[in-house]
Amino acid sequence: MIIGVPKEIKRMENRVALLPAGVSILKAHGHTVLVEKGAGVGSGFSDELYKEAGAELVDDPREIYAKADMIVKVKEPIDYEYELLRKDQIVFTYFHFAASRELTEAVIKSGCVAIAYETVQKDDGSLPLLEPMSEIAGRMAPQEGAKYLEKAMGGRGVLLGGVPGVEPADVTIIGAGVVGTNAAKIAAGLGARVTILDVNLQRLRYLDDIMPKNVITMASNEYNIMKAVRRADVLIGAVLIPGAKAPKLVTKEMVAQMKEGSVIIDVSVDQGGCVETIRPTTHDNPIYFEYGVVHYGVANMPGAVPKTSTIALTNATLPYIIELADKGFETAIKTNKELRRGVNIINGKVTHIGVAEAFGLEYTPIEDLFKLD
């Protein structure tokens, strides 16, 4: 198989989808790897390293899209890339379709096979390709919250951990999954007073056992969210429904009641966000103000630490890339349920119910397209 690795062109995105080590392994399996020149530079991997590993370096991304049987990326294609997608070409990346009708319609039109990292799912419900980036985004969220609480950044002028004789900041986290747990760990370690909310009481019991005493667990409902949001100096949105739009749990009325100069970090913005007033921003223009509250809506937070993020991501994705390359798409999804769950769109048909429901599109179970167990 010919595997193509184009350079990421989303604004301020420096990650790359494949390391030189991955190129070497794929070459050993008999595959050809095309890498766009400069694709790995932002993550600290030179063209020379890819060449030494056996990659063919390509100047023009159009050549990669034209030749490759499978494209591996980090972020979803953007408008320039839509016309480069081909029928039956495998595209393996983070898509987050439910946040963008334009992207969804473009991929449907292309006829490609869209396998989304974020919906590859194990039998226990875990998301192995989303987890490493969720860990990073969760750990970054309190850092960003602490920074934007500073007066010079437009915040309240509050130190997250306080000092002796001065109370710490209040951090409210909505969602106790991978993002929320990692955010709570870092915020608590910095000395903040942390409240984490979730609908899963078993999860809250677990966190109550393992977290330090400055982390308080709370059942998630409208009343408790409203109360916790109102007292928050930093609010972190960490809600996920795999493949679907995030529910709007924090209304604009709740935001209007927050303290002036408080900070919202909505990590779920790549799935539409769980805060009604959030919208996507970029690393070079990360914040805006609504109701006197700092809003941080960067949709690719791990892109700020590309070396860490690239290594963490490719550690998780490489086994699946190898399986797709060795077996081909149809055999791989027939024999691997995890990959099968990752298929969101194939040949113009939407095969993930969350994507279909987000835009009122026809849903076609993947089992109807192939003879699957």
Q: How confident is the model at residue 241 (pLDDT cuts 50, 70, 90)?
A: confident
The per-residue pLDDT for range 109-120, each reduced to its tens digit, is: 999 999 999 999
Spatial separation of the C-alpha atoms in residues 95 and 99, rounded to whole Å: 9
140-163: average pLDDT? 97
Q: Is 283 a catalytic residue?
A: no
Q: Residue 11's pLDDT is what? A: 86
Confidence of residue 269 (pLDDT cuts 50, 70, 90): very high
The predicted structure's pLDDT at residue 105: 96
Cβ neighbours, 10 Å, residue 146: 24
Select the more confidently predicted residue: 47 or 241.
47
Report in angstroms the alpha-carbon separations of 189 from 65, 72, 236: 45, 36, 16
For the segment 322-328, the average pLDDT, to the nearest whole number, is 97
Q: Are 187 and 180 in contact (CB under 8 A)?
A: no
Catalytic pick among 96, 170, 266, 295: 96
pLDDT on residue 372: 67
Asked whether the predicted pLDDT for residue 304 surpasses 70, the reply is yes
> What pLDDT, on the 0 to 100 scale, is given for residue 144?
98
Provide mean pLDDT across the span 230-243: 93
Tell me the two tokens of residue 3: 């595997």
Least confident of 60-64, 95-99, 119-123, 159-163: 95-99
pTM confidence score: 0.90
In whole angstroms, how far apart are CA 244 and each of 44, 47, 94, 274, 291?
Answer: 33, 37, 13, 12, 28
Confidence at 99, pLDDT banded by 50, 70, 90: confident
**pLDDT at 173 (0 to 100):** 98
Q: pLDDT-based confidence at 244, cuts 50/70/90?
A: confident
- Annotated binding-site positions for NAD(+): 134, 198, 203, 220, 239-240, 267-270, 279, 298-301
Whole-number pLDDT of residue 121: 96
* Of 69, 233, 266, 270, catalytic: 270
The reported pLDDT for the residue numbered 206 is 97
Q: Where are the beta strands (DSSP E) in 37-145?
A: 56-58, 70-72, 90-93, 113-116
Amino acid (one-letter) located at 316 = A
Per-residue pLDDT band at 373 (split at 50, 70, 90)? low
> Is 29 a residue of the active site?
no
Is-contact 90 323, C-beta < 8 A?
no
pLDDT at position 318 over 70: yes
pLDDT digits (tens, 9 = 90+) for 337-372: 999 999 999 999 999 999 999 999 999 999 888 876
- Listed in order, strand segments (DSSP E) in the chain are 2-5, 32-36, 56-58, 70-72, 90-93, 113-116, 170-174, 193-198, 215-219, 234-237, 263-266, 287-290, 293-296, 343-346, 349-350
* pLDDT above 90 (res 242): no
Name the average pLDDT for the chain: 96
Going from the N-terminus, what domains does the chain have, and what CATH number goes with each? 2-126+306-368 (3.40.50.720), 131-296 (3.40.50.720)
Binding-site residues for substrate = 15, 75
Q: What is the mean pLDDT of residues 300-323?
A: 96
Distant-in-sequence, close-in-space partners of 10: CB < 8 Å, separation ≥ 6: 75, 76, 78, 300, 303
Q: Mean of the pLDDT values across residues 79-104?
A: 95
Residue 12: what pLDDT? 87
